[in-house]
Structures are given as structure tokens and as C-alpha cells.
Amino acid sequence: MPNETVKERLAHDVGLWLSDGLVSKDTHDLLRQRYGSQAFGIAKAVKSLGVAGGIVAFFGLLGLIAATSGSRTFVGFLLLLSGAAIAAAGIRLSSDKLGRYPTSSKALLCLGVVTAALGIGAVINALGANDQSTLFLTGILVVVPAGILAYRFKNSFLLYLALIVFFHWVGSWTDMYGRSTYELAIDDPRLMCFAALAAVLVGLYHERSLREQTVRFYQAYEVMGLMYLNLSLLILTVDPPGGTREQTLWVGLWFIAALLQIIAGALQHNSLFTGFGVTAMAINSYTRYYEDFWNRMHKGVFFLLGGAVLFAAGALCEVALRRSQRGPA
């Protein structure tokens, strides 16, 4: 019989086999039973409820702080104490001897840390720090303890949270302007590129050397790192720091970065890299299609030649693949 990792992966993929026409409905149903997909589904449902509840409650806490601007010190301490209590409850339940709360205790611990972090931020803000200093100081005080708790209790929610705080600390910012416009800004996208690359490298190290001890932590580093790397490069292509003279350079760099991500995905057998690379290349091409900076070169020639080269590379790869498959026979 296959081990748990294989069963978990196949339970996950059987649905795709059906929708991609690789197996019939009857075979799909049989394989779902074989790999215990029912239990898999329930564990995922509990996890999803925890994540969904945590997200909703997080925005509720932000609203609480916004609504109580007159007594922020009091609210800050209240949140800090509540957060500590919730986190302690999460820790206690995660070590339940009957093992009844392995998933939901993680959501509780994460919510506790979020509540305490918001409390720290509110107190710092109430002491007179401006918004930027508040974010900077809160980041310093929160990222490390959150990271330690994440590793101690193998809590990937918390690691994602710590990484989001870290990237906001480096200089990321999001908002909703008016009724229907979402905004994203990065203070220094070049600096963010280095921070994001570092996160990707840490992820690769976890994937190769620490996977047994840290389970899926590598995914958190790789997802957040690749996301911020591509967002930073997107901003650099749209609004280059050196003005429009540098635009071609950043556009080219982003295409190369996307290409490298696709190649890294193929080399590492890692669909995360492939997915981010393909998305980055598609967004870069889509943006360039509408861009006005083409006065110095011909947009049509660029797309036709670039596309033809890429297509030829794909066709050559398939020829090589077919030859390698015929070779050993």
C-alpha cells in the first residue's frame, strides 16, 4: 500500500484526473474511497472554517481599533491581554492529550497572535508614534515571536501571517480607494525584490533540507516571496525609479525573471514556480500590449518575434521529450 504522503497527494489529484478526462466517473469514485478522500475533505473543511473565521475576525479587530480612536491606549492593552489569553488557549488545546483539536487550535493561536499584535500597534500609536513608525516598531516586536511560535507549534497560518507582517514592514501597502478601486503600493520595490528573493531562497532551503521537520513551511516562503517579487517587478515596469528611460530594462528583467521561474518549476518539479512564472509572463505581456512606451520599438514585431521564439522553444522541448521517451525502449 502507498504511504500517507502518496495517498494524500493522490486524494488531492483524483478530482483533477476526472475533470481532465483521464479517468471515468466510476474510477474516480473508486479511487476517492481508496485514498480516503472523505476524511481528507473533512480535515480541509475544518481548516477552511478556521481560516475563513480568522480572516473575518481579523478585519473585525481592525474595525474595533478604528472605531475606538478616542481611547486607543485602553483598547490597545485590552487587545494585548485578550490576544495573549487566546494564544495561550490555542497552545493549550494544541497539546490536548486526546488530540481533538490539531487543526482548529492552530486557527485560535493565530487569532490570538493577531489580536495581541494589533494591541501592541494600538498602544504604540497611542503613545504618539505616527502611522509609519507604528508599523515599523510593531513589525520588529511581532515578526520574531510570531515566527518562533509558528516553528514551535508547526503552525503555517502563523508563518503566513508573520511573512505578511514582514513584507508590510519592508514597505508594502494595500488599500481600497473610493467604492471600486483596489490599490497596491510598495515603498521601495527594488529593496522589496531583494527581500522577496531572500524569502524564496529560505523556502528552497526548507524544501530541500528541512522538509521532514517543517512540513509545508517551504510553501509559505515560496508563495509570499514569489508574489512580492513579481509585484515589485510589475511596479518597476509601470513606474521605474529612473523614469521612462529605464522602462525597457525593467520590462526585460521581468520577462527574464518569469522565464526563470518557469524553468525553475520544471527543474524543481514545483508547480508554484511554474504558476507564478506563467502568471507573471501573461501580466507582463498584457500590460505591454496596452502600454504607451512603444515609440522606440515596434510593438507588433516584439510580440510576433517573442511569441515565435517562445513557441519554437516549446516545440523543440516536445521533440526532445518524445525522443527521450523513445530512447530507452
Residues 6+ away with beta carbon under 8 Å from 130: none
* Part of the chain binding other proteins (CB under 8 A), chosen from 132-140, 164-172, 196-204, 313-321: 313-321
Q: Which residue's CB is nearer to other proteins, number 243 or number 301? A: 301
Residue 290 buriedness (CB in 10 A; 0-12 / 13-18 / 19+): exposed
88 touches other proteins (CB under 8 A): no
84 touches other proteins (CB under 8 A): no
53 touches other proteins (CB under 8 A): yes
Name which position in 59, 130, 131, 329 contacts other proteins (CB under 8 A). Answer: 59
Size of the site for other proteins (CB under 8 A): 121
Query: Helix and strand tally (H, E) in the chain?
Result: 13, 2
CA distance 62 to 68: 10
Name which position in 75, 80, 87, 111 contacts other proteins (CB under 8 A). Answer: 111
Name which position in 92, 100, 145, 192 contacts other proteins (CB under 8 A). Answer: 100
- Shortest Å distance, C-beta 140 to other proteins: 26
Residues 6+ away with beta carbon under 8 Å from 268: 204, 207
263 touches other proteins (CB under 8 A): yes
256 touches other proteins (CB under 8 A): no
- Fill in the per-residue mask, 128 to 167: x = in contact with other proteins (CB under 8 A), - = not in contact: ----------------------------------------
Name which position in 70, 243, 269, 327 contacts other proteins (CB under 8 A). Answer: 269
45 touches other proteins (CB under 8 A): yes
- Fill in the per-residue mask, 2 to 21: x = in contact with other proteins (CB under 8 A), - = not in contact: xx-xx--xxxxxxxxxxxxx
- Shortest Å distance, C-beta 225 to other proteins: 18
CA distance 257 to 223: 15
- Shortest Å distance, C-beta 210 to other proteins: 11
CA distance 126 to 116: 15
* Part of the chain binding other proteins (CB under 8 A), chosen from 72-80, 137-145, 177-185, 192-200: 177-185
Task: Determine the length of the chain.
Answer: 329
Cα 288 vs. chain centroid, distance in angstroms? 25
Residue 78 buriedness (CB in 10 A; 0-12 / 13-18 / 19+): middle
CA distance 140 to 166: 9
CA distance 190 to 109: 34
CA angle 127, 131, 135 (to 5 degrees): 90
- Shortest Å distance, C-beta 38 to other proteins: 8
CA distance 116 to 87: 9
Q: Which residue's CB is nearer to other proteins, number 103 or number 134? A: 103
Q: Is 42 helix (H, G, I), strand (E, B) or coil?
A: helix
180 touches other proteins (CB under 8 A): yes
Q: Which residue's CB is nearer to other proteins, number 77 or number 141? A: 77
Q: Which residue's CB is nearer to other proteins, number 50 or number 119? A: 50
Residue 38 contacts residue 7 (beta carbons within 8 Å) = no
Q: Which residue's CB is nearer to other proteins, number 37 or number 138? A: 37
> Would you list the DSSP string of 151-201?
HHTT-HHHHHHHHHHHHHHHTEEEEEETTTEEEEEES-HHHHHHHHHHHHH
Name which position in 241, 242, 252, 314 contacts other proteins (CB under 8 A). Answer: 314
296 touches other proteins (CB under 8 A): no
